[in-house]
Structure 1
């Protein structure tokens, strides 16, 4: 009988100790839980397993909100960069809007915006044996103060306002070795004459204006 009483007391002490340990552990977890978490969860001291389940569900739901709903617009995964097709379409739109028409008979270059002439400049053209090519091209190369290499002698002329190419270069034709285009000249008196090696000579003041009015990819139509 004494043994049974002692065993019963031991069991009671173990149960009591386990209960105290459980309450202490639960109190520490509750004290260390952020206030926002405690406010958003209904904590029951009689349901510790349900408490932990609620916390797991809460953090999972917060994670979903952050990844799906609360991202600012500038962190969106959608790219704003234009695709190659869009860039090509924009380039074609610009090409349709503006073009340069060279009339070798008039010895003038006309800048068009759609169907309206917005500027016209006198030009020097290619001499006999070095005729300016006829056809439809596009601007390939633009440069401030270009240097020049003579196509026959190979002599290189330094860049500057006194260079044979003047102050600007606008190339629209190339065979991979030589180029033809609009350029300035220090000899403005020769503008309007067939004196070049195929290029279109312009007064420096005019070629500066043309340089600002057009850009790469703009069509250049050369006709007789």
Structure 2
């Protein structure tokens, strides 16, 4: 591995998602180099992760129609959202993120039709479920109808602009607390 070619051949660039393959107890900072040496031909990995804040919990203020994303006691993001309309109110209480889906399909509960995934689907580009009651899921999702932000118009879910829910998706993980008040 002394030649430029062999060094290049054994150097890999990883994204933050691929770094999870190294194990939960591996701490890696931006542009760190990892040498994997327990194999016949050691390889070098350059990790190009982004230093981003991760959420510790989420709070939804129904009166304000805003979502607050916290890292410990500090608000790191806030989003204007649409909430459940009268008769379909967003449930209040303490929940946790239970499911996360990129480009989700939506099955219409009234006629069973499935809408294709994408930015114009009823769920937008991301789905982050935090409640399930009587077989019905409630969560954050995107919408093409950005004009609905700040209004009570959904069937219980928390609608977000597609770009906002994509950003939130990157900040949260399964199991983090969601408080709806």
Which has the larger share of helix? 1
Q: Report the Cα distance in structure 2 between the residues aligned to 1:154 and 1:133, rounded to whole angstroms.
A: 24
Correspondence for 1:91: none
Correspondence for 2:75: 117
Q: How does 1:1-224 map to 2 (within 5 A)?
A: 98-175=56-133, 177-223=135-181
Q: Which runs of 5+ in 2 are unaligned?
A: 1-22, 25-54
Map Cα deviations across residues 48-70 of structure 1 (whole Å, 9 max, x no partner).
xxxxxxxxxxxxxxxxxxxxxxx
Map Cα deviations across residues 35-80 of structure 1 (whole Å, 9 max, x no partner).
xxxxxxxxxxxxxxxxxxxxxxxxxxxxxxxxxxxxxxxxxxxxxx
CA RMSD, Structure 1 to Structure 2 (Å): 1.6
TM-score by length of 1: 0.55
TM-score by length of 2: 0.68
Give the deviation of 1:152 after TM superposition. Answer: 2.7
Give the 3 Å change call, closer, same or farther, for CA 128–176 of structure 1 in structure 2. closer
Q: Report the Cα distance in structure 2 between the residues aligned to 1:178 and 1:151, rounded to whole angstroms.
A: 9
Q: Which has the higher contact order (CA 8 A, sep 6+)?
A: 2
Q: Report the Cα distance in structure 2 between the residues aligned to 1:109 and 1:166, rounded to whole angstroms.
A: 17
Q: Which runs of 5+ in 1 are unaligned?
A: 1-80, 83-96
